[in-house]
Amino acid sequence: MNKIVNPILRGFHPDASVVKVGADYYLATSTFEWMPGVEIYHSRDLVNWQLIANPLQNSFQASLIGNYNSGSIWAPHLSYAEGRFWLLITDVKTGSAFKDTLNYVFSSETITGDWGTPNFVTASGFDPAFFHDDDGRHYIMSMLFDHRLEQPNFTGLVIQEFDTESMQLIGEREHFYTGTDLGVCEGPQLLKKDGWYYLLCAAGGTGYSHAATVCRSKNIMGPYELSPYHPFLTSKPAPENPLQKSGHASFIEVSSKEWYIVHICSRPLTERGNCTLGRETALQKIDWIDDWPRLSNGTVFPDLEVEVPSIAQNSDQQLDFSTQCDFTEPELPDYFKTLRQPLSEISQKVSLSERPGYLRLYGEQSITSLHRQTLIARRWQHFCFKVETEMEFEPENFQQMAGLVLFYDTDNWHYLQVSYDERLQSKVIQVETARIHQFTYRSERIAIPSDRPIRLEVKVDRDQAQFFYGIGNGEIQPIGEILEADHLSDDYIKTNGKLAFTGAMIGICAQDFDRHRSFADFNYFNYLENHTKEAKK
C-alpha cells in the first residue's frame, strides 16, 4: 500500500483530537446528542482505527435530556500527562445569543477504564483543550464567547493554569490570542517543539470557509506570530477538492522527522452541495520548513490520497464498513448509539434477553422528543448502502408505532412506520417525512396482515432513498416515492435557518403515546455498503 484514501474515519466523526502514548495513537471525536458520549479510537498505523472506549457512559457524566439538536457534546480534547489520560469536553445547553457551554475535565489511568466523575471548570466558551508543559504546569484553553449585543460573539482565545490535584483552574484567565483575518477562532491545540509554542486553531466557521491556522511564540502567553504559510489548511478556494470544509486539526508525531495531522472534512455529493455523511476525519502529512509546519504537498489544500505512514507499510486500509447483526450476543455492537439517553439507563426499554435472538424495543416518547425516546441507530459511512431488518409488532391503536428510520435529528427524518388504523381495523404501514419540523406522508397508508413478521428495507443511493417492505417470506416491494436523502445533512438544514453539526444515521425505533407499553421485536439489522455502485459514479 503506497497511498491511503481519506477520510480515515468515515461518516459522522468530527473534531478529532489525537494523542500518542508509546507506540499507540488514541483519537477522540465528538458525539453531540448521541450516547455513549465521546468516541475514542486506537491505532498503531494511523490508517485503521478501532473504537475502544466511550468515556461518557451515564447521565451523571453527561446529562443530555432536553438539549437542543446539535448541542450537547462538542469537540473533546484528549491528552496524556502524569501517567494519566485527560479528557476535556463541552456540554452545550443553549444556542441562542447566550450560549451555555459547560466545560468538564475527566481523567483515567487507562484509556478503557472508568473516567469517573465530571469536574466542572468553566462555562466561558467551548472547544476547550489541555496543554501540559514540560515544566510540570498545566493549562486549559478555550474560545471566549461574548453575549453582549455590541460585541462579536467569538472574541479569540483564553488560557488559564489548571491544578491537577484540586482539579480546578487557578490564577487569572488571560485573553492571549484574538485570531486572524479569517475570523472565528476556536478549537485551539498547543504543541511545544524546539523551544517554540505552536498554536493550531480552527478558523472561519464550520462550513465551506472552514480552515486551520498556525502561529508560534517563545512564550506560552504570547505574543504569537502568524505562520508565513497562511492558512495552514483550507478547501475554501478549491470547490473541486473532494475534501471540503477542511480545518479543525490536531498534530501527530510519528518520529522527529515524520509528522501528520488529523483534520475535519466533509465530502459533498455535488460541488459545494449537501454532505450526508457529515463531518469526517482525514489524515495529511506535514513537513517542518524553517520551524514552521506546512502540508507536504506544498499547498494549503488537503489530499484525498496521502503517502502511507512508515508505520503502516504492511497495513491494508479498511474501506468497507458493512455490518450484520443478528442480536444473539448479550450486548449490542459498539457502532449502535442511543439518542440523549445512555443505553445502560434505558434497559427497561431496550432488551436483548426478553426474547433471545431478538432486540425488543418498548415504545415511549415520539420521534420528535428531545427527552426520552426509544431509538437505536448507527451512522451512515458510505454514499450508497442498503439496510434491512425484520420486525414483529402488533400495535393496538394509532398511537403505537415502530419501524425503520433514516434520521438526522428530531426535526429531520424519513420514517417507514408500522401502526394501527381503527378506520381500516388493520395494522398499517406508511412512510412519513419530517423536513425542518414540517411533516408529510410520502406514501399511501397500506393495510397489512397481523401476526406475521414484516421485512423493512431502505436503499440509499447518494441523494436518493427508497423504502421497501415485505410480509413474511413474500416478495419485497417498494413503498412510497423516491425520497431526498441529501436533505438529511447539515448543509440543507442550515440553509433553512437551523444549526446542524452532526451527520445522517440509520436506525430502528418504537413509540407509544398511549401507555408506553407496546413493543417491537427486531430479528436482525444488516447495513450493507454498495462500493461497486459508488465506483461507477
Separation CA 234–CA 531 (nearest Å): 28
Residue type, 6: N
C-alpha cell at 184: 472565528
Sheet strands (E) in 56-184 = 72-81, 84-92, 101-108, 119-122, 129-132, 138-145, 154-163, 168-177
Cα Rg of the chain (Å, integer): 24
Cβ neighbours of 17 (radius 10 Å): 27
Please tell me whether the peptide bond between 231 and the residue prior to it is cis, using omega within 30 degrees of 0: yes
Number of helices (H), then strands (E), in the chain: 2, 40
Q: Is the peptide bond before 55 cis (omega within 30 degrees of 0)?
A: no
Q: Which amino acid is at 2?
A: N
**Annotated catalytic residue, options 33, 45, 91, 186:** 186
Instruction: Output the CA angle 24-28-31, nearest 5 degrees.
Output: 155
**Vertex 411 angle, CA 405 and 416, to 5°:** 20
Question: Does residue 364 carry a catalytic annotation?
Answer: no
Beta bridge partners of 41: 27, 51
Is the CA virtual torsion 181, 125, 61, 68 positive or negative?
negative
Compute the distance between CA of residue 380 and CA of residue 460 in angstroms, rounded to an integer: 10
CB-CB neighbours of 263 under 10 Å: 28
3-state SS record for 234-253: ECCCCCCCCCEEEEEEEEEE
Among 354, 358, 353, 359, residue whose Cα is nearest residue 376:
359
Sheet holding 84-92, edge to edge: 72-81, 84-92, 101-108, 119-122
Residues 253, 258: Cα–Cα separation, whole Å: 6
Candidates 15, 45, 364, 463; catalytic one? 15
Residues paired with residue 460 on neighbouring β-strands, in sequence order: 385, 465
H/E stretch holding 261 reads strand 258-266
Whether residue 223 has a cis bond before it, omega within 30° of 0: yes
User: Any catalytic annotation for residue 134?
Assistant: no
Strands 129-132 and 119-122: unpaired
**Catalytic positions, please?**
15, 186
